[in-house]
A and B are shown apart, each in its own frame.
Chain A
């Protein structure tokens, strides 16, 4: 069974569109994250949720809105997509302070 899963794996869309990425973890963890990895492989935290509550918001444009319907799910909705949003988005789930499990990533390409 996949511990952290994301859908879709690939997402190609036009500038100005709105899209969502979904994440689910079956590990029973309380804390989940969204990360963005750019074309140079730089990985940066975007959001963190603990038991459905927003904990970290790293000055991400408000076009990005995370939602956590329950502690096993953390979705990311992006409004008015821009070229610079093209990246790989990773969801992660935290077991303890030092250990995070990452999903396979969603490759977003904005044309």
Chain B
């Protein structure tokens, strides 16, 4: 069935290092992918998205890579800061803006050590 999963449940990095969070998906029909950040006690917050016709997209300190051949998605965070500590979710989506839906992965906890 459809599923989106993450390779590691917890990632611990040193402040200032780069972080890489990975995600595997199984639905080849998904046409966009999104990364969300969820801080403790808050709702998920949109970080960056990528469409299936792209393999890389960059934002502010974040880069998302998409490898459709192996159905793999990653989020790279440059110069990780304590404020980056959160749970990160990947989600795959399909359908229009009115009827489409997101399927979320399990989540990876990112811990930033000072």
B58 at the interface (CB under 8 A from A): no
In the bound complex, how far is the Cα of B45 from the Cα of A101, in angstroms? 7
A97 and B107 contact, CB distance less than 8 A: no
Report the count of interface residues on A (CB-CB < 8 A). 26
In the bound complex, how far is the Cα of B45 from the Cα of A102, in angstroms? 7
A42 and B106 contact, CB distance less than 8 A: yes
- Nearest residue, chain B, Cβ from A107: B41
Residues 42-55 of A, flagged 1 when their CB comes within 8 A of B and 0 if not, give 11110010100001
From B41, B43, B100, B107, A41 is in contact (CB under 8 Å) with B107
Chain B residues within 8 Å of A, Cβ to Cβ: 32, 34, 38, 41-46, 49, 51, 87, 89, 93, 95-104, 106-107
Chain A residues within 8 Å of B, Cβ to Cβ: 4, 30-31, 40-45, 48, 50, 55-56, 90, 92, 94, 96-105
